[in-house]
């Protein structure tokens, strides 16, 4: 299946078109290069606004309606019972790509018990594991001469792995919209 659009989609400076699984008039949803938990995806405005306060009313409404739809789908698709939905609004808040984005992370009971409990997700988001910008930079053609070593057990996914997940989630979004009769649909 080809990407959802022939129009390039950028997340900050990074071309992410093959990772995109849902598009609306003002937002897009994409799979994460290095998800903190299975199903961890991002929703971002199509316009490269840096902060939530930079969005106009139509963009804010579309962004949060998209977060709601995508959240419902990934919760069902990944067999979760809850979601973490987070925005790191600005560099001092941990935002690693200067393009507003919402993290949607499907959760299950006791999924992080071995790491200190369910609140461990916040440290993961703010730490090196949650540094989306770093992981995208390392995968881009602009790779630094001396890439940093990733000591964690999670490895960045390949473009093929992300495109495969994007295809599956795009199919799920279409099915959800058919089932829901949703008026907030993809383009």
* Catalytic position from the list 26, 40, 99, 101: 101
Give the integer Cα–Cα distance in Å for 97 and 94: 9
Lowest mean pLDDT among 42-56, 88-102, 129-143: 129-143
The structure's pTM equals 0.81
Task: Name, in order, each residue with C-beta under 8 angstroms of 41's C-beta and a sequence gap of 6 or more.
Answer: 21, 29, 30, 31, 32, 35, 70, 74, 103, 104, 169
pLDDT digits 0-9 by tens, 68-82: 999 999 999 999 999
| 22 catalytic per annotation | no
**Which residue did the predictor score with more confidence, 185 or 50?**
50
Q: Which tens digit of pLDDT belongs to each residue from 97-152?
A: 999 999 999 999 888 888 888 888 888 887 766 666 555 655 555 433 333 333 35
Q: Spell out the SS3 assignment of the chain.
A: CCCCCCCCCEECCEECHHHEEEECCCEEEEECCCCCCCCCEEEEECCCCCCHHHCCHHHHHHHHHHHHHHHHHHHHHCCCCEEEEEECCCHHHCCCCCCCCEEEEEECCCCCHHHCCCCHHHHHHHCHHHCHHHHHHHHCCCCCCCCCCCCCCCCCCCHHHHHHHHHHHHHHHHHHHHHHCCCCCCC
Nearest to 135 by CA among 123, 122, 121, 152: 152
pLDDT average, residue stretch 7-33: 95
* Burial class of 147 by CB neighbour count within 10 A (0 to 12, 13 to 18, 19+): exposed
Residue predicted with more confidence, 13 or 153: 13
Distance CA 27, CA 80 (A): 24
Whether residue 154 is predicted with pLDDT greater than 80 in this model: the reply is: no
pLDDT-derived band at 156 (thresholds 50, 70, 90) equals confident
If you average pLDDT over residues 55-62, what whole number do you get?
A: 98
CB 101 within 8 A of CB 87: yes
User: Residue 166 to residues 72, 147, 153, 187: CA-CA distances in angstroms?
Assistant: 16, 27, 23, 16
What is the average per-residue pLDDT within 90-98?
A: 91
Asked if the model's pLDDT at residue 20 lies above 60, the reply is yes
Q: What are phi and psi of 67, to 5 degrees?
A: -60, -45
Cα separation, 67 vs 86, whole angstroms: 10
pLDDT of residue 147: 33
pLDDT at 38 over 60: yes
């Amino acid at each position: 299946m080809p990407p959802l659009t022939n129009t390039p989609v950028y997340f900050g400076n990074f071309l992410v078109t093959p990772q995109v699984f849902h598009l609306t008039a003002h937002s897009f949803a994409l799979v994460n290069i290095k998800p903190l938990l299975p199903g961890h995806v991002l929703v971002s405005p199509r316009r490269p606004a840096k902060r939530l306060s930079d969005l106009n009313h139509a963009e804010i409404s579309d962004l949060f309606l998209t977060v709601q739809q995508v959240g419902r789908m990934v919760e069902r698709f990944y067999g979760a019972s809850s979601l973490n939905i987070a925005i790191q609004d600005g560099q001092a808040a941990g935002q690693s790509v200067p393009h507003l984005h919402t993290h949607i992370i499907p959760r299950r009971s006791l999924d992080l018990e071995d790491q200190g409990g369910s609140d461990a997700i916040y440290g993961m988001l703010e730490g090196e594991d949650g540094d989306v910008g770093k992981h995208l930079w390392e995968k881009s053609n602009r790779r630094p001469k001396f890439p940093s070593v990733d000591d964690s057990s999670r490895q960045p996914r390949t473009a093929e792995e992300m495109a495969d997940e994007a295809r599956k989630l795009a199919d799920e979004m279409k099915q959800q919209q058919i089932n829901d009769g949703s008026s907030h649909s993809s383009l």
